[in-house]
Amino acid sequence: MTALVFARASFYPYREMSSMTAASNRFRLLMIAPQPWFQPRGTPFSVLHRIKALTTLGHQVDLATYHVGQDVPMERLRIFRAARVPGVRRVRIGPSKTKVALDLALYLRARGLLKKNQYDLLHTHEEAGFFGVGLARRWKLPHLYDMHSSLPQQLSNFKYSRSKALLSLFTRLEERTIRSAGAVITICPELQSYVSERYPHVTSLLIENVADNQIVFPAEPGLQEKIRSELRLNGEKIVLYYGTLEPYQGIDLLIESAAHALRSSPRPLRFVVVGGQEEQVRRYQQQARAAGVDGSFSFTGFVPPQAIPSYVALADVLVSTRQSGTNSPLKIYSYLRSGKPIVATDHVTHTQILTSEVAVLAAPTAEAFSRAVLWTLDHPEQAAAMTSAAGRLAEEKYRYQEYLDKVQWIVEQAVHNGPRG
């Protein structure tokens, strides 16, 4: 078994199926997702599209997940929620003590499902892989580990703990999970390199989160004028960000950059920030007010996925200001298909997907990022060329059929490799 990274379709060892057809080898999976599923944010979106691919391919998926979240009906999907943890109505992103209790309830739910049902494969996400090792061994099942990030890295990125003992524990658990898995999915090139270099005898495959959310949540028509009216847009150039408002997303950098851009540009600008929880929105509104740019910012708060395309349609520039981590934001794949110019920090989270041919990449400083935004607005012909190149990149490298083929291949590999450990 080997670690595999694929850059071109001609290198793929799997059979490419005809468009959107079911696979000939179909399995029954128990998937364990330790998230509030579904909520419109990073990993739950990734899990959503993994399920959509599996069910499109003809597999039956039983999903065990937290008690928190919204059901998304799909053919061949059954959702089983863990017991309610008292007092938990919301799950914040990243490690937390709350997640320990939620994961215990999830483990018990998954164990109960394994006692009652027959499965061909156990498919775990994130830290569910840690207890998935024992479940797979107990029920003699192949284990497919969906690795959305390195969990020891998460402890550092979210500044959850400085405990060396806790970091060492997570490192050992992650190593045990990867080594015992029948196959491992990674979601970005940096993570794939991490796995393939450290565990060369484990079957692993890079499956980037290229799926368009409109596959599951079709765009709601006729919203643009309503949004334009609600935001009181009046001919300004629109600089738009959408996604979560967690600190690592760099919204503070966007606000600081806006202050520089507004001082330098004679044209009216509007910075529209789509998404976020109420307390996050209040925090950044206060920050914009302190910077003297609140009149040029619009914070929408939560917006349903169906409405996002209408906001994007109004934008003149799409931005991403992330400055930490290794995982690529899911929004970047959507940005490539959007037909809009892209400005992003030149951080590895972006540069493992974006190049200077398809986006304007800027150093993560307020001055540099503001210059990049203004340059993009001032050079529409060059920006249009980048936008066209971005669309070609999405079509050539990030096709949905390729995503389906990869999902089917890694499932077959996990089943073929069988139970381990």
Instruction: Measure the CA dihedral 52/47/331/225, to 10°.
Output: 60
Q: What is the pLDDT of residue 352?
A: 95
Residues 307 and 406 in one domain: no
The domain total for the chain is 2
Q: Is the peptide bond before 299 cis (omega within 30 degrees of 0)?
A: no
Q: What is the pLDDT of residue 255?
A: 98
Closest C-alpha among 55, 43, 42, 398 to residue 210: 398
Residues 248 and 169 in one domain: no
Residues 285 and 410 in one domain: no
> Averaged in consecutive runs of 10 residues, what is the pLDDT profile of the chain (421 residues)?
34 43 84 96 94 98 97 97 95 86 98 98 97 97 95 69 81 95 96 95 96 90 93 96 94 98 94 96 98 97 95 98 90 96 97 97 98 98 98 95 97 94 64
Q: What is the pLDDT of residue 93?
A: 82
Q: Which domain holds residue 361?
A: 224-397
Q: At 54, is the secondary structure helix, strand, or coil?
A: helix
Q: How far is CA 266 from CA 237, 273, 293, 384, in A?
A: 11, 22, 15, 22
Residues 50 and 170 in one domain: yes
How far is Cα 27 from Cα 29, in angstroms, rounded to an integer?
Answer: 6
Residues 122 and 8 in one domain: yes
Residues 324 and 360 in one domain: yes
Strand ranges (DSSP E) for 120-163? 121-125, 143-147
Is residue 218 one of the residues assigned to a domain?
Answer: no
What CATH number corresponds to the domain at position 96?
3.40.50.2000
- Predicted structure pTM score: 0.89
Q: What is the pLDDT of residue 92?
A: 85
Residues 160 and 272 in one domain: no
Q: What is the pLDDT of residue 65?
A: 98
Residues 32 and 89 in one domain: yes
